[in-house]
Amino acid sequence: MFEIRWHGRGGMGAVTAADLTASAAIKAGFYALAFPEFGAERRGAPVTAYTRIDKKVIYDRTPITNPDAVVVLDPFMITSPRILAGIKEGGYLIVNTSKDPAEVLDQLGLRQLKVTTATVDATEITMQVFKQPIVNTAMIGALIGVTNIVPLEEVLSVVRERFPERLAEPNVRLINESYRSVKVVRP
């Protein structure tokens, strides 16, 4: 089973990102679940979402405590101990930031964990397209670019099915741009 924990703030699209990724996995022939965890429902409040992907039926609906991948939509959350809690050695950390992945690794002191670290400036990419920092689909592109957990084509197909064309095509553009521009440091 591959488990992804998404961290963001209300309005950034973490819940939608988790769901789109699960839908793409199902379309690719896997079993998948996506579900959110949040307190007061308001824009700007911390939000955690989860995606589980497996080749067999998934019964576990508990929060993911030892993720294979952690995706951070809000770069200001990265220093919170809760964000990196339980990340597996050999896992993936994907952060929305203009910083280089090595810089993030050093800032967090993660070199001993042997975590593949990736960064993409999803905020900048999204602001160019939508003029607002809703970075969810850009972060999906980065996740897929680093992990290849589901085929990029399936993600793009799900986005085109889920959104009207006026929103689908700009989101496809964001996914492709992040997929191509994600920077990676492997252990």
The pLDDT, as a whole number, for residue 21 is 98
d(C-alpha 154, C-alpha 102), whole Å: 30
pLDDT surpassing 90 at residue 38: no
**pLDDT tens, position by position, 92-147:** 999 999 999 999 988 887 777 789 999 999 999 999 999 888 999 999 999 999 99
pLDDT band at 40 (very low <50, low <70, confident <90, very high): low
The pLDDT, as a whole number, for residue 110 is 73
* CA separation, residue 9 to residues 38, 117, 180 (Å): 9, 21, 25
List of E strands, the chain = 2-9, 31-38, 46-54, 69-72, 92-96, 116-120, 183-185
**Residue 42: which residues within 8 A CB-CB, separation 6 or more?**
10
Picking from 76-85, 131-140, 172-181, which range would have the lowest pLDDT averaged per residue?
76-85
Q: What does the pLDDT average to over 83-99?
A: 94
The answer to whether the CB of 90 falls within 8 A of the CB of 65 is no
d(C-alpha 78, C-alpha 99), whole Å: 12
**Residue 103: which residues within 8 A CB-CB, separation 6 or more?**
none
Query: How many residues are present in the chain?
Result: 187
Give the tokens for residue 27: 């379309």
Q: What is the CATH number of the domain that holds 12?
A: 3.40.920.10
State which residues form the domain around 6: 2-185
Tell me, what amino acid is at 76?
Answer: F
Among 72, 54, 78, 50, which Cα is nearest to 62's?
50
Tally of domains in the chain: 1
pTM greater than 0.85: yes
**Residue 142: which residues within 8 A CB-CB, separation 6 or more?**
71, 94, 96, 118, 120, 122, 178, 179, 182
pLDDT band at 51 (very low <50, low <70, confident <90, very high): very high
pLDDT surpassing 70 at residue 24: yes
The pLDDT, as a whole number, for residue 139 is 98
Among 98, 122, 104, 88, which Cα is nearest to 4's?
88
